[in-house]
Amino acid sequence: MRHTFGDVTDSIISNKSSFYYLTGEEAKRYDLSSKYPSGGLISTTEDLVKFGNELLHGQYFDRAWVDKLFLTQYTRDKKPTGYGMGWNTTKDRNGHRVWYHSGNLFESSAFLMIYPDDDIVIAFLGNSPEGMSFDIQKVAEALYRK
């Protein structure tokens, strides 16, 4: 992941996209360094797919630790939440397990989907915070269309 790092407002990052509001106006730059634990990172779809593949088959993270990321949490009355440690964990209409995480900040958005049983990793990036509204079921329909 050679193209993933914390976004620094005054840094010059080659080939970095500009970000826009839905009005078409270029988004104002924000200092996101305080948000690194929850976002504020710059990446590429290629690096995000590498990260997803690392979670599926990796060598760098302890497998037991990774598996815990995707275990659903439970409410006090023992109902599954469909949410692991930062990851939504569900099945699509076809019964395929899918893990996904999305995020958006003031000027950009991202979406990472992992189909663990099918060995599929999909990353979407948007240069607008409003640009990443996905219906998981529609993505699944496109994936498994015969």
pLDDT score, position 108: 72
**Entry pTM:** 0.79
Computed over every residue of the chain, the mean pLDDT equals 81
Is 83 domain-assigned? yes
Q: Which of the residue ranges 52-56, 85-89, 141-145 would you say has the lowest mean pLDDT?
A: 141-145
Domain total of the chain: 1
Mean pLDDT confidence for 97-102: 91
Is 22 in contact with 130 (CB distance < 8 Å)? yes
Whether 135 is in a domain gets the answer: yes
Length of the chain: 146
Q: 85 is in which domain, residue-wise?
A: 43-143
Could you identify the residue written with the tokens 């060995």? 119
- How high is the pLDDT of residue 23? 76
